[in-house]
Amino acid sequence: MACDPWHKVPAPFVYRIEDAMANWRRVRASVLMLFSEKGYVQARFGEKPEELRHHLDCFTDVRVITVADAGHNLQHDQPEQVAQALEDFLSRDLT
């Protein structure tokens, strides 16, 4: 696998989704969530959209965009779509 070998080292703490979601509920900034059409989120939540919605609802202000024809490395698979999504999000009208 072409990745940073540190990704294979176990974390010194246990990851608990409840803890993560509690932190997400504290986020007050607008959030842009980019999902790849053929990536982990689709594989994990494709049959359970209500579970994904439960996670996303933790954020006060979230915008979700699915990047078409992209896998795990969506920024490499579809750089133009990712760039456009970022540009649109960062230049949106905040009023």
Distance CA 37, CA 17 (A): 23
pLDDT at 76 over 60: yes
Locate 71 and state its tokens.
């896998």
CA distance 30 to 59: 8
The predicted structure's pLDDT at residue 87: 96
- Whether the full predicted model's pTM is greater than 0.95, yes or no, is no
pLDDT for 37 beyond 70: yes
The closest of 1, 73, 3 to 34, measured between CA atoms, is: 73
Q: Work out the mean pLDDT of the chain and round it to a whole number.
A: 91
| Amino acid occupying residue 69 | D
Mean pLDDT value across residues 17-34: 96
